[in-house]
Structure 1
Amino acid sequence: MLHVNSVLALRSEQLAKATRVFNARGSKVKRCELCLLPLTDCICAAKPQVKSDSAFCFIMYTGECYKPSNTGRIIADVIPDNHAFVWDRTCPNAAMLALLNDSRYAPIVVFPQQYADAERCINSPLELDSIRDGKTPLFVMLDGTWREAKKMFKSAYLAKLPVLGIQPEQASTYQLREAAHLHQLCTAEVAIAILTLAEDNAAAAALQQYFNEFRRAYIVGKPHLNLIED
C-alpha cells in the first residue's frame, strides 16, 4: 500500500511558502516530481513496498528538502512511518515535538557519539528497554551539511534522547555530495546501517536496493563521476 513521503510533502509545503524560486545546479533539468531525477532516468517503477518495524523523523535544515541529491527522500519512499520537519532554532515545530513525545515511539538521535555525553550513547536500538517492550524505534535524522547538523544536534529538545552512532567499515559509495570526513556516510547509507542494527532486515535490504537504483540513475547524468560498485 502506498504511503506519504514526508520529505516530498515538506518540499511542496516549503515551495508553496517560498517568496523566490529555488535555483541550484541542474534546476533547468526536467525532473520527475516524485523521485526528482531527470524524466529519462526516473526510478519510481523500482520503488519497493515493504513492511518496517521502524520509523524515521527527518529534521531538515532550511533548503535541504529541495535538493535532488538529498537521500532522506529515498528513505521516506521505503519506510512507511516517516515524518519530516524544517529545523527552527528558536521556534521548534509543535507537531515535531509532539512526535518526539508520542508514547508509541522510542526516539533515538542518529549522530556521531563523540559529540554526546557517554550516558546517552547506545550501540544498538535493541539495548533500550522501551524497544524491547514493544515501542517503535523513531530514528531522528539531522539532515543537512555537517556544520548544519552539528547546530541542530544542540537543540534542547534532543538533549535527553539516546544517541546512536554508526562507525562505517568502508568509505561511502555516494559520490553526489561532498562529505566533511572521508568515511562519512550519506543519510540513506546511515539508515541502512541502523535498520540492520534494529534487525529490521527486510526494510534494510529494500532500502539498499532502492538506494543503489537511485545512485546509478543519478550518476548516469553526471559524466564526471564513476559508479563505485558495492
Structure 2
Amino acid sequence: MSRPQCSRCLRPASHCLCALIPSLDSRTRVLLLQHPSEVNHALNTARLAALGLKNAQLVVGEVFDDLPSLLNPPGYQARLLFPADDAQPLQAYGQSDEPLLLVVPDGTWRKARKLLHLNPLLAALPRVTLVEAAVSRYRLRKAPGPGALSTVEAIVQALQVLEAPTSFAALLKPFEALIDGQIAAMGEEVFQRNHGDGDLG
C-alpha cells in the first residue's frame, strides 16, 4: 500500500516540504525541462525550484512539441544553462538589459544531452554557464566533477549572479531539509561509509 503523498511537493505527506518552500520573485524567467525519469526521483530538486519561484515553469517530457512558444515569451531572451566550449559566462544584468529566459534541462548528464539531441531548437540556443560554481551540497551523490550541482543549486547560483545583490538562498532550504531527511533515513553510519569522504571528484 502506498503512503499518502503531498500533491504539491510530491513528498510523502509525513515528510512534506511545502512549509519550507519560499515564493520568490525574479526578473529572470526560469524554464525547467525535466526528463520523465526524474519525476519520481526522491530528490526532485527541479520541482522544488519551480515551486519556489513565481516566474518559473516546469515541463516534463522528452520531445517538447510546444518548444517554439515556450522559448519565446515576450520580453525575454532565451539562453540554455548547459556547458559548451562557446558558453558565455553569466553576468549581472545592466540597467537596460532584457531579462533572460533561463532554460534548464533536468536529468542526469546523459538524459540532459538526450533532451538536447531530441529537441534541435533547444540545442541551437546560445549557452550560458556559471563562472565559479561552488561545491555542491548534494552530499548523497558523487558529483562527476567540481562544479557539478543539483538543478536547484545551479538555478540559485545563476540567479544570484544575474540579479545581484538579491539573494535566492531561501530556495535551498527545502533542498537541505530533503538531504538531511535522506541521511537520517539511511543512518549516519551508512552515510559516512558511502558518502562521507567529502570527495566530489
Question: Does 2:166 match 1:194?
Answer: no
- Identical-pair percentage: 26
Aligned equivalent of 2:109: 146
Which one is further off, 47-56 or 80-89?
80-89
Rounded Cα–Cα distance in structure 2 between residues aligned with 1:159 and 1:193: 22
C-alpha separation in 1, matches of 2:142 and 2:174: 21
How large is the Cα RMSD of the aligned pairs? 2.9
Structure 1 distance, partners of 2:142, 2:109, is 10
Give the Cα separation in 1 of the matches to 2:5 and 2:141.
19
Query: Cα–Cα, structure 1 residues 161 and 29, in superposed 2: closer, same or farther, change >3 Å?
Result: same
Q: Is the 8 A contact 1:59 1:87 kept in 2?
A: yes
In 2, are the aligned partners of 1:69 and 1:176 still within 8 Å (CA)? no
1:170 deviates by: 4.5
Structure 2 gaps of 5+ residues are 197-201
- Report how many aligned residue pairs link the two structures: 192
1:185, distance to aligned residue in structure 2 (A):
0.9
Return the TM-score normalized by structure 1. Answer: 0.70
Pick one of 74, 83, 86 that aligns with 1:112: 83
Question: In structure 1, how many angstroms separate the alpha carbons of the residues matched to 2:136 and 2:21?
Answer: 22
SS in 2 for 1:139: strand
Question: Per the alignment, do residues 176 and 111 of structure 1 end up closer, same or farther by CA in structure 2, a change over 3 Å counting?
Answer: same
Correspondence for 2:191 = 225
The 1:169–1:57 alpha-carbon spacing in structure 2 relative to 1, beyond 3 Å, is closer
Q: Name which of structure 1's ranges 53-62 and 79-88 shifts more when overlaid on structure 2.
A: 79-88
1:119-130 paired onto structure 2 within 5 Å: 121-126=87-92
Tell me the SS of whatever aligns to 1:63. helix
Map 1:29-178 → 2, pairs under 5 A: 29-89=3-63, 92-94=64-66, 96-114=67-85, 118=86, 121-126=87-92, 133-154=96-117, 155-167=119-131, 169-178=133-142
TM-score w.r.t. structure 2 length?
A: 0.79
Matched AA of 2:56 = N
Provide the rounded CA distance (Å) in 1 between the counterparts of 2:104 and 2:21. Answer: 21
Deviations 1:151-202 (A, max 9, x none): 2233310244221123555532213445443541111111111011112554
- For residue 34 of structure 2, what is the amino acid of its counterpart? M
